[in-house]
Amino acid sequence: MRLKTRFTELVGIDRPIVQGGMMWVGRAELAAAVSNAGGLGILTALTQPTPDDLRREIERCRTMTNKPFGVNLTILPSVKPPPYAEYRQAIIDSGIKIVETAGYSPQEHVAHFKEHGIIVIHKCTAVRHALSAERMGVDAISIDGFECAGHPGEDDIPGLILIPAAADKVKIPMIASGGFGDGRGLVAALSLGADGINMGTRFCATVEAPIHPNSKQILVENDERGTNLIFRSLKNTARVGKNSVSDKVVEILKRPDAKFEDVQHLVRGAQGRVLLESGDLDAGLYWAGQVQGLIHDIPTVAELMDRIMREALEIIERRLPGFRG
């Protein structure tokens, strides 16, 4: 089962479904499974401790799939930033043809990738940011609605508005992210003007996701209310799964005089990794979107993607025509 869109043509895949580049989760096992099932798998560069480790992970992924896959490079402000230029060079040296960039001021990275003929997809949370990235020369946009896990921006615009608003102005291919987990969402995204969907949380609840079974099961047990928005008062809003740690972060940051240092010990990325890998659901924060309300099982990646495609084609070919009077 295939669906042809501008995005599938751009990156050479059969199904307009992209796996989000998730920290600690975007490893070879998951990326290869998504690519083998006809979508676009994404390795997460900064999950790897060093640029050389990233090179090895890319080669490991190539032993698992001969289909297209990409690498995510997220640029975030930091007191001690990772060596972004070295990670970028590792991506180029490894012959990667598709890169997903995210975060702040990607111009330097985009320009260097484009010099080497690499297709660049940039993640955005606002129409104005998407248009800026388009002018910068990226090849495709991933537009993230307020429902998404991670950083949804500060505008609080859900996908139902954000996707068509972006589609009205963005000329390059665009995939939609935030709240997608089934065939209904895929058809909705296409109807709203996107050329495919990006799924993060949904792919965490699959057999191949390299995380502890407890960290998958909580996504099944939670509903659409099972997230917290943290860092709102710091103007760096992030959507994470609801647990004792994120509840505490929300409570502390409600104080008028609260600052990041007050919660720094609770939000360390290393503790989130412990949660994902150990299954201790109160060890730290975990990223999760409102799509948890649509997650009811833990299938293989192939089973999930086959199901999404069946549902989407059923809607397109049978259900929608039935509404014509």
Name the percent of the chain lying above pLDDT 70: 100
Identify the pLDDT of residue 242.
Answer: 97
Could you tell me the pLDDT band of residue 77, with boundaries at 50, 70 and 90? confident
* Rounded CA separation 90/170 (Å): 30
Please name each of the domains of the chain with its CATH number: 6-211+297-323 (3.20.20.70), 227-287 (no CATH)
H/E segment holding residue 175: strand 174-177
**What confidence tens digit (pLDDT) does each residue in 154-204 have?**
999 999 999 999 999 999 999 999 999 999 999 999 999 999 999 999 999
79 pLDDT more than 80: no
Question: Nearest 10 degrees: CA dihedral of 170, 195, 151, 222?
Answer: 150
Angle 24-29-34 from CA coordinates, rounded to 5°: 105
Averaged confidence pLDDT in the chain: 96
Token digits of residue 157:
């615009």
52 pLDDT more than 90: yes
Amino acid at 69: F
78 pLDDT more than 80: no
Identify the pLDDT of residue 104.
Answer: 83
49 pLDDT more than 90: yes
Q: How far apart are the first and last CA of the chain?
A: 29
314 pLDDT more than 90: yes
Which residues contact residue 206 at a Cβ distance below 8 angstroms, ignoring those fewer than 6 apart?
30, 33, 216, 298, 299, 300, 301, 304
Identify the pLDDT of residue 312.
Answer: 98
